[in-house]
Structure 1
Amino acid sequence: MARKYFGTDGVRGRVGEAPITPDFVMRLGYAAGKALVAGKTLRPGDHPGVLIGKDTRISGYMLEAALEAGFAAAGVDVILAGPIPTPAVAYLTRALRLQAGVVISASHNPYYDNGIKFFSAGGTKLPDAVELQIEAYLDEPMGCADSADLGRAKRIDDAAGRYIEFCKSTFPNDLDLRGLKIALDCANGAAYNIAPKVFHELGADVVPVGVEPNGRNINDGVGATVPSNLSAAVLKSGADLGISLDGDADRVMMCDANGEVYDGDKLLYVIAKALHAQGKLDGVVGTLMSNLGFEHAIRRLGAAFHRAKVGDRYVLEMMSAQGINLGGENSGHIICLDRHTTGDGIISALQVLASLRQTGQTLAQACEDLVFYPQRLINVRMPAGFDWASNVAIRTAREQAEAELADSGRVLLRPSGTEPLLRVMVEGSDGEKVERLARSIADTVEKAFA
């Protein structure tokens, strides 16, 4: 059954436009609360508990209040954590033995977008069945529990400190980061007051970037989606390497002392090699976007490689199904299930740094045997509801490109799960051919709805 409101990562959109309006978000909180109450055996006077965290968008204040009201009306107690990373909500939901966690964030999107995503009691994304149950309650009139059964709300003052200690606990006790200068771009987002402390307390000399949020500058020229900003910060400060997070800190990019950027595939490879050296690599899960060179490198380590649909929830689903602890996307979503239940930019960076400390290598040295095929990704904005998959011209352009690439590459067309975009990706051994074919397909898509 298709979901009406939930996308690949919760409910997301432009603030003030459906569904990201105060009234809808209040009803969403009420519907989620109803699902929690219905799914839990309660003693008289008991209430399910949820944790609400957010990033630094100015709309977070409004949406937090709306969610709080909806949950309270359903008889659910709320704990407000304030601005904290998405993976911090997953961790604290488990640590505090709560029934769910909620994040108010649109991740890497501009400040005028926002979204609501949920975590289960176990710190994982909600199963489809639960999201469908919430959607069913959304289609019913909103009610209100009896006054005696209304939920309460309180703030947790040490949320950041608890999460900082958790992140540090994933770094080997016999290692530190002393003598290492790190440029750290926090995207003016949820990790602005957390990530610098994690790396500093482990001994690094931290050069903070993007740590002055004003409600409107999240992801604005900073963060993991603008790695050039990190490269510039590394070169200007003379740092040994750089780490860049996105607005909600669940993805990471890094760069070396020369400003060379290392994406999710490369960082996954560094972690995979470390696990292989320890005899702990049980395979790797990538996505349809993972570079062929990355797949070949993992197979050279003697490990299985699996491709999931694009989206960290699908990577996690395949990891669980295959019994694999390591997976992620080239966009920087990296999941280390031996460390956390969800993707975590800070923790993933720590695993990369641990590997470099153990081997004494630089990022360049750790990746010197990883050879990527040229890959070109073009995002084509298209009208909502446009049936690109049935368009004859687009299908023909794709088939012609695949025939020309033969066994030396591949073509992938897929819609974005969060924006009205069609992502056109071409990969192959010949860089000029890859660029030409990607541009040709993208032009065909644009003409198809012109």
Structure 2
Amino acid sequence: MSRKYFGTDGVRGRVGEAPITPDFVMRLANAAGRVFASMESAHSSGERPTVVVGKDTRISGYMLEAALEAGFTAAGVDVLLVGPLPTPGIAYLTRALRLHAGVVISASHNPFEDNGIKFFGPGGWKLPDEMELAIEAALEQPMQVVASSRLGKARRLDDARGRYIEFCKSSFPNDLDLKQLKIVVDCAHGATYHVAPDVFHELGAEVIAIGNQPNGTNINAGFGATDTQALQDAVVAHQADLGIALDGDGDRLIMVDHTGRSFDGDYLMYLIALARHEQGSLKGGVVGTLMTNMAVEVALAERNIPFARAKVGDRYVLERLLEAGWQVGGESSGHLLCLDSHTTGDGIVSALQVLRALLQRKQQLADLAAELTPFPQKMINVRIRKGFDFHSSAGVQSALAEAEQALRGQGRVVLRPSGTEPVIRVMVEAREEALVQHWVQRLAAAVEAAAA
């Protein structure tokens, strides 16, 4: 069954346009509250279910927070409000406080005009498909208000920030510290602005914070994991050892070495896995996505580390990890999962795992460039007509088979429809740039001709 409102990471859109309107978000909270209240665990304790609600620094967060509070309390659900806190911080609090759910008001790396609602279930895990479908089914029913005696209550959780800071620090080994390191931390003017600098400082680092002055409209604007130029410049200007770039809600990580070179999620995932493998603590293998550079797969294979690919989206990486019983995975975009440290992607915790790996291997981040050389990669977006299915096109399938045969062992091809616009994404990567250019153009032309 397909979802009407939920995407790969909650409900998201432009503020003021459906579904990100106050009335819909109130109905969404009410529907979710009714689903949470019907859970067996809610009845077993004899108490009202409780959810924790956090947000990033977008100005629309005030409006949507009030809508969520109204919808949940109307459904008889108690609400803990924590204000700006990274998405993984809400996942942590949901688990630590044994709550029925955690809710985050955020559109992650998107500009401030967008916003969204993300959910975590019991234990701090992303909601399973069946629960999202149950919420969507409840949305088809009229909003319900329980009897006055059963209405939920809302209160502020004043120590949420401190709790989360201590949790992040606890993911770093006690026998290591960050003394002697000068680190630039870019908070993207987002939810980590009052958390991340303190975590690294309290572990001993000299910290220069940038992107830590949110005003409601500057989140992700020229700063953070999606635009690392400010961080690269700051690392060089301050002669820092490295830089850490987080995104608006703190679940992505990109890092910069002392020369200003940036390293994406593929590099960082590889380093974390390799260090754990060398320490004998890597459980199983590593999960990437369809877009993970083939060089990672090849490098891991050389060390007999299993590798598997999931669909694009950290929820799918998580599903594959849980299925296999593995712990390390991630995406090129910087969503990294270390399930021995947290239940979800956490930029701060992931940065600490990278720093741990560097300290244990006695190397600098710059040294990673010599260990992993990404294959050349190119992607072309080909616009298509509504209803076009490249799987049923003989021309596309013939060109695809020819490309896969030519690149066997030397590269790979990915054709996938976009989930947000009418395009087919044609991606080719190979050891040689000439092969990439030839086959990506050939395949894009085949798709374009078939979709005309």
TM-score relative to the length of structure 2: 0.93
Q: Is 1:12–1:418's contact at 8 Å kept on the other side of the alignment?
A: no
| 1:328 matched residue in structure 2 | 330
Q: CA deviation at 1:200?
A: 0.9
| 1:340 matched residue in structure 2 | 342
Say if 2:361 is the partner of 1:359: yes
**Structure 2: which 5+ residue stretches go unaligned?**
none
For 2:258, the aligned partner's letter is A
Q: Size of the alignment, in residue pairs?
A: 449
Cα distance in structure 1, aligned partners of 2:205 and 2:302: 33
Task: Give CA-to-partner distance per residue, 1:49-80, whole Å, 9 cap, x none.
Answer: 00011111111111111111110110000001
Task: Give CA-to-partner distance per residue, 1:349-379, whole Å, 9 cap, x none.
Answer: 0011011112220113245232321112345
Task: Give CA-to-partner distance per residue, 1:257-310, whole Å, 9 cap, x none.
Answer: 111111111111111121112211221111111111101111222221111111
Alignment of structure 1 residues 39-438 onto 2, 5 Å: 39-40=39-40, 41-42=42-43, 46-281=47-282, 282-378=284-380, 387=388, 389=390, 392=393, 398=400, 401-402=403-404, 404-417=406-419, 422-438=424-440
SS of the aligned residue for 2:266 comes to: helix
Cα distance in structure 2, aligned partners of 1:314 and 1:341: 13
Cα distance in structure 2, aligned partners of 1:223 and 1:381: 30
The worse-fitting range, judged by mean Cα deviation, of 276-285 and 134-143 is 276-285
| 2:12 matched residue in structure 1 | 12
Task: Give CA-to-partner distance per residue, 1:200-223, whole Å, 9 cap, x none.
Answer: 111111111111111111111111
CA RMSD after TM alignment: 2.2
Q: CA deviation at 1:122?
A: 0.7
SS of the aligned residue for 2:256 comes to: strand
SS of the aligned residue for 2:43 comes to: coil
Q: CA deviation at 1:151?
A: 0.6
The worse-fitting range, judged by mean Cα deviation, of 356-365 and 155-164 is 356-365
SS of the aligned residue for 1:80 comes to: strand
SS of the aligned residue for 1:253 comes to: strand
Cα distance in structure 2, aligned partners of 1:91 and 1:420: 37
Cα distance in structure 2, aligned partners of 1:333 and 1:381: 27
Q: CA deviation at 1:45?
A: 6.8
Percent identity, aligned pairs only?
60
Q: CA deviation at 1:391?
A: 7.8
Q: CA deviation at 1:230?
A: 2.0
- Structure-2 change in CA distance of 1:381 and 1:149 (3 Å): farther
TM-score relative to the length of structure 1: 0.94
Q: CA deviation at 1:232?
A: 1.7
SS of the aligned residue for 2:54 comes to: strand
**Structure 1: which 5+ residue stretches go unaligned?**
none
Cα distance in structure 2, aligned partners of 1:198 and 1:4: 39
- Structure-2 change in CA distance of 1:44 and 1:168 (3 Å): closer
